[in-house]
Amino acid sequence: MKVNYLFSFLVLFISISVIANEKYNVLFISADDLNTDLGCYGVKQVKTPHIDRLAKMGVRFDRAYCQQALCGPSRASVMTGLRPNTSGFVWLKDDLRLLMPNVVTLGQFYKNRGYYSARVGKIYHYGNPREIGTNGRDDALTWTERFNPYGIDRSQEESITVYPESRKGAGLGISMAWWDPVSEDTDHTDGKVASKAIELIEKHKDEPFFIAAGFFNPHCPYVAPKKYFDMYPLEKIEMQDLKEAKADLNDVPKLAMLRDGKKWPYYFNDITPEQARKCKQAYYASVSFVDAQVGRLLDALEKNDLMDKTIVIFWSDHGYFLGEKGLWYKRKNFERSVRAPMIISGPGVTQGGECFSPVEFVDIYPTLVDFTGHKVPEGLDGVTLRPLLKNPAAKWDRPAISQVHYNPKQQGYSIRTQRWRYTEWNEGREGRELYDHQNDPHETMNLIDNPEHAALIKKLSTEVQKYSKTYTAHVPPKIGEMELEIFKKK
């Protein structure tokens, strides 16, 4: 009996030790310019069954906010756990290693601990679509390997329809443009991204991995196989009335509209509401295309028995306007621009959880590190969301801070609490905004001059200026200078 008891105890001890020492994988999935128009976020028109499936497997963060609604700075903040004002990364042309040569990025953290760390597609900033198929502005130290597939959306750009037609050839990185070829998913860049990521999952399933699949859609130009366009009949696509949209902006500070005011509506001159409607249809088609690729990745985890060993996170770099207030694109401090999807699933994560507390993208780094059993590095600006993954309704008092950076002398900082969004432009000298999300979720009425909220405004102003006063001005280097400096440091 004693021998049997001792044997059972040793088996139990060994099993517990194996479990304690097991390294969870991370599947790190991002989309480009994706807002929260998703089925699991309550927008039933948009068909996203696979992202919805992931939400049922884990926690959907309803109020997740980027730190800066611009691709480069936002992605840098995710990968470093640092705010733009901490890292200095506030421009698209900034280079992370020039600003912080010794920073340990998220993928690098795992690589340093024996994980296979790989990127397929866009994680750091790329000029989209111009730099598809290249390393873009990627960080080599983050990865063990990196891959840059490209498809017909890049190789056959001449087939893309551009509005207005006079802009044909002017560049597609900021464009009202679309294409709906009769094609297979794997003819396109994002289909190839999914295929390569699946190949890596299968190849490295027996070792701990941090695999990042970065999709380029639904960033413009909005290109996807025709079957996804067919899911959205054009007559079902709704656009806000422009008279109503204009009225929404009557009480907004001029600096908030610096990039959009002279080009309103829809950013480019001579864009008609019907052309905008077509682009919104194309955007939704691109979203469903990305969703299908997410489904392929989840299927690969299930096929290889990795679901119980893998933390899966899905996120986008920022939100996106699709004609609301007559606006298009990002780079604004409105909710529509800084709020983005974030879903996390994995062993021990509450299934089907919905978290309504404000959280930030700088929280992603410490959360993944903590949840995969590692010690969170000191000096990060974010905090672990592990308590919310266990209990999405847990008490949470931290606000979310976002910013717009036009130049060193024109900036706006926004704070989002459970109920309120408060924004200051140049520390309030160029205007302020206050929106009550309990009664005005679309931010149509600026309450800044309401005396009833004077005490609240003072409190929020004190809080947001803790961040706005940390900025140190710098001018981004020219590309040639940047590459020269990187060469010198090698």
Each residue's pLDDT tens digit, 88-138: 999 998 999 999 999 999 999 999 999 999 999 999 998 999 999 999 999
440 part of a folded domain: no
pLDDT band at 23 (very low <50, low <70, confident <90, very high): confident
pLDDT band at 262 (very low <50, low <70, confident <90, very high): confident
Give the CATH number for residue 83. Answer: 3.40.720.10
Q: Is the pLDDT of residue 26 over 50?
A: yes
The terminus-to-terminus CA distance of the chain in angstroms comes to 65
324 part of a folded domain: yes
151 part of a folded domain: yes
* Residues 294-318, mean pLDDT to the nearest whole number: 98
Is 220 an annotated catalytic residue?
A: no
Tell me the per-residue pLDDT of 186-197, one tens digit each, with 9 for 90 and over. 999 999 999 999
pLDDT at site 269: 87
Cβ-count burial of 249 within 10 angstroms (0-12 exposed, 13-18 middle, 19+ buried)?
A: middle
Domain count, the chain: 1
Q: Which of 40, 50, 66, 71 is catalytic?
A: 71
pLDDT at site 18: 36
Q: Which one, of 72, 43, 73, 75, lies nearest residue 60 by Cα?
A: 43
Cα Rg of the chain (Å, integer)? 23
pLDDT at site 478: 63
Predicted TM-score (pTM) of the model is: 0.93
Q: Which of 50, 66, 125, 220 is catalytic?
A: 125
Q: Which one, of 177, 198, 195, lies nearest residue 185 by Cα?
A: 195
432 part of a folded domain: no
Cβ-count burial of 270 within 10 angstroms (0-12 exposed, 13-18 middle, 19+ buried)?
A: exposed
pLDDT at site 185: 98
31 part of a folded domain: yes
What residue numbers bound the domain in which 189 lies? Answer: 25-400
Q: Is the pLDDT of residue 16 over 60?
A: no
234 part of a folded domain: yes
Tell me the per-residue pLDDT of 43-54, one tens digit each, with 9 for 90 and over. 999 999 999 999
Report CA-CA distances (Å) from 88 to 76, 93, 124, 339, 415.
10, 12, 15, 22, 20
Q: Is the pLDDT of residue 439 over 50?
A: yes
Do residues 146 and 122 touch, judged by C-beta distance below 8 A? no
Lowest mean pLDDT among 3-7, 101-105, 190-194, 322-326: 3-7
Element (H, E) at 244: helix 242-247
The gap from C-alpha 243 to its chain's centroid, in whole angstroms, comes to 31
Is 279 an annotated catalytic residue?
A: no
483 part of a folded domain: no
SS3 per-residue string spanning 254-297:
HHHHCCCHHHCCCCCCCCCHHHHHHHHHHHHHHHHHHHHHHHHH
DSSP 187: G
465 part of a folded domain: no
